[in-house]
Structure 1
């Protein structure tokens, strides 16, 4: 069944999730899709984001993974590329409401594919530079 797996997160206990929850609920309602909402109050610097893990595990082919803003999903640019890419490989669409990012739209899906290629290229360049630097240090006897 097509459904929305929503994920809302704030960094501290003092912050309020209400606006994110309302936006995700409205999105699911407008799409006539069932909503399962995962919420947590935890900093992205924490390694264990249990509800994010649960939401990703529960998402299935044909589902949409919806967040209010991209920064509630990822702690780094690398993770921001990886998570939606993994979702798309599993047949899960990704939507960020506030950022107008929606992989159900073919042009956005194509753009994301190009960004993923560039991210991979950047990663390869960094690895090559690191290898070259280590080789240079070894040649100098260190």
Structure 2
């Protein structure tokens, strides 16, 4: 057995206190059943949040993580009570492992203080990494295919070709201000300067230039 495999099977945590964490999504939901299950599992202390799993401000979870010491085990009623996603779950449990703290989920019968439990969790982590790589690969392939079809990628331009033509035509009138033209077209002065570059050099399009540009674009 190589070192990596042996490290995989070595249990982490255990022997210390069992600390519970429970969570419900809304204030109207009850924590009683989760807390009872954690107490029945032998938890000496339980922290609980009444917030959505998508809410990063899970104060009681952070208190629980801070309270845990090496050798302790964090116990949850089920995996979905702890993490917002599989990646969030893996990140939290990996952080516990580095501190020598175990993790146990009652519903899934997952216990990282045992070799089998640690093996299952490593499979979860590998699967999450595989899915992430597939998503990245699919994104790159989709972008490459779009470029091959000649599709424009990224943000759409702030001004359309028609708006630019209108801007040049109106700028040919010396009495029309750049601010009023920008307001009329629904863009900023900065955008006008960006799409009509001769303005940056202090030159306004002439009527002849505007007409020529109109003919070239038609």
Asked whether the two chains share a fold, i.e. TM above 0.5, the reply is yes
Contact 2:86 2:128 in 1 (8 A): no
For 2:109, the equivalent position in structure 1 comes to 100
Cα distance in 2, alignment partners of residues 72 and 59 from structure 1: 18
Which residues in structure 2 correspond to 1:1-142 (within 5 Å)?
2-28=16-42, 35-139=44-148, 140=150, 142=152
Q: Which runs of 5+ in 2 are unaligned?
A: 1-14, 153-218
CA-based RMSD of the aligned residues comes to: 2.1
The structure having more radius of gyration, on CA atoms, is 2
Answer with 119-128 or 83-92: which moved more. 83-92
Point out which structure has higher relative CO (alpha carbons under 8 A, 6+ apart): 1
Cα distance in 2, alignment partners of residues 67 and 135 from structure 1: 44
Q: Which runs of 5+ in 1 are unaligned?
A: 30-34
| TM-score, normalising length: structure 1 | 0.82
Cα distance in 2, alignment partners of residues 40 and 84 from structure 1: 18
Give the number of aligned pairs. Answer: 137
How far did 1:82 drift?
2.7
How far did 1:141 drift?
5.1
Cα distance in 2, alignment partners of residues 14 and 127 from structure 1: 39
More strand by share: 1
